[in-house]
Chains A and B, each alone.
Chain A
Amino acid sequence: MLYSIRLALKSLWFEKWIHMLTVVTIGVGLFVLGLVFFALYNIEGVASRLPERFSVTVFLSDRTGEREIDQLKARLSRDPIVESVKFISKDEALVELRSSLKDAAYILEGLDENPLFPSLEIRLKENGFDRKRVEALIDELRRLRSVDDVVYGEDLLGTIYTIRSGVKTLSAGVILLFSMAIVFVCYSTVKILFYRRKEEIEIFKLLGATRAFIRMPFLIEGGTLGFMGGLLGGAGTYGLYRFINGLVVTDFPMLGEMQLPLGLVAALPLGGAVLGIIGSTIALGRLKF
Chain B
Amino acid sequence: MIGFKDVTRIYDNITALRKVSFGIEKGEFVYITGPSGAGKSTLLKLIYLAEKPDEGTISIAGWDTDTLKESSIPYLRRNIGVVFQDFKLLANRTVYDNIALALRIRGYGETEIKERVHDALKLVGLRHKTDSFPAALSGGEQQRITIARAIVGDPTVLLADEPTGNLDVDNAAGIMKIFKEINARGTTILIATHNRELFRNTGLRVLWFDSGNLVADEEG
A interface residues, Cβ below 8 angstroms from B: 3, 200, 202-211, 213, 288-289
Min Cβ gap B82→A in Å is 7
Total number of A-B contacts with CB less than 8 angstroms? 44
Q: Is the CB of B49 within 8 A of A200?
A: no
Determine the distance from Cα of A117 to Cα of B102 in the docked complex, in whole angstroms. 91
Q: Is the CB of A208 within 8 A of B49?
A: no
One of B73-81, B135-143, B160-168 at the interface: B73-81
Q: Which of B26-62 contact A (CB under 8 A)?
A: 48-50
Interface size class of B (residues with CB under 8 A): 20 to 34
Q: Is the CB of B102 within 8 A of A207?
A: yes
Determine the distance from Cα of A207 to Cα of B106 in the docked complex, in whole angstroms. 9
- Which residues from chain B contact A213 at a C-beta distance below 8 Å? 105
- Which residues from chain A contact B90 at a C-beta distance below 8 Å? 200, 203
State whether A207 and B77 are in contact (beta carbons under 8 Å apart), knowing that A3-B104, A213-B105, A289-B49 are contacts in the complex: yes
Q: Is the CB of A289 within 8 A of B70?
A: yes
Which secondary structure dominates chain A's binding surface?
Answer: helix
B interface residues, Cβ below 8 angstroms from A: 48-50, 70-71, 73-78, 82, 84, 88, 90, 101-102, 104-106, 149, 153
Min Cβ gap B22→A in Å is 24
Enumerate 13 A-B pairs (CB-CB under 8 Å) in ascending A order.
A200-B90, A203-B88, A206-B48, A206-B50, A206-B82, A208-B102, A209-B74, A209-B105, A210-B71, A210-B105, A289-B49, A289-B73, A289-B74
Determine the distance from Cα of A288 to Cα of B101 in the docked complex, in whole angstroms. 20
- The chain A residue sitting closest to B82, CB to CB, is A206
- The chain A residue sitting closest to B104, CB to CB, is A3
State whether A208 and B77 are in contact (beta carbons under 8 Å apart), knowing that A203-B90, A289-B49, A289-B70 are contacts in the complex: yes
Q: Is the CB of B104 within 8 A of A208?
A: no
Report, nearest first, the 10 A-B pairs whose CB atoms are least far apart. A208-B77, A208-B78, A209-B105, A289-B73, A210-B74, A208-B74, A3-B104, A207-B102, A203-B88, A213-B105
- Given B70, B75, B88, which contacts A208 in the complex, CB threshold below 8 Å? B75
For the A-B complex with A203-B101, A210-B105 known, give 15 more contacts whose Cβ atoms are closer than 8 Å.
A3-B104, A203-B90, A204-B101, A205-B74, A205-B77, A206-B48, A206-B82, A207-B77, A207-B149, A208-B76, A208-B106, A209-B105, A210-B75, A211-B74, A289-B49
